[in-house]
Structure 1
């Protein structure tokens, strides 16, 4: 198994870079997507991703399930997960505001990511994971925004640490980190 970690800001070009890496590999590709059409803008963003993908790539859209459908990975040569940040956002939106300050709310998400990482260590496929970098922006004004930033920052660290190779994409330029 090879785990490739790709991070960058929103609209940095990280998804396009991940798609290029996936296309370089011979074999079948599974695109794992977590985006949810919550409004017209999000619908357009999702459609842009769909239009860029080759028609022969399989797609798995399970917005809240990181681990449950992982057995499907075994049927493909390359797994492109785009993007874990959307999965984290989906998880955060399901937490009542009064629970955002409770450590167990974060730990629940971290445990699911650690379980996912544990399981992908045993697969033979090349797994490419895309995440938004939150460490370059300001501190969010809302408690939900700060919770999301804290959780995503730690999730980035967990996945980057386990990765075999890591890249940062800034303004369409790619830097190899690891």
Structure 2
């Protein structure tokens, strides 16, 4: 597998998603990433720290340049908990005590934990946008109204890529007026 190509694909996907989502600095981008699926294996059956590092190398600089916090969804063995920078903790958030590992949390969450300045884990979050690499089911960590975002690519490596942004709920019925940017 060409890890440089995985980094390039991740960088391109992040740039396209952030442009489409128009996230403000301080927003949170949640990423679920199956390194197994990237390498053409079944999710949970071929975890690769190298593939995870390649994805992180593509995503993190794009997110950092936009002032967006990257949040990593752990695998089902850690109940899909979230790893993020302590600086991104929402008000009232209660960190949990766990350190992800490649076989308990996943390679991508482990990579994020190792590279974040002050990593913390949470049971859940309500992110502003999301990237699902390899059918990891990130929807539980998005704000309530998720809108699909179609990118110019739909795979990273061999893994399916599905992205979303969120928007405020529309309320008020037929006479309501909504902001055009949402």
- TM-score bracket, normalised by the shorter chain, equals 0.3 to 0.5
**What is the TM-score of this pair, normalised by structure 1?**
0.36
**What is the TM-score of this pair, normalised by structure 2?**
0.35
**Greater helix proportion:** 1
**More RCO (CA 8 Å, sep 6+):** 1
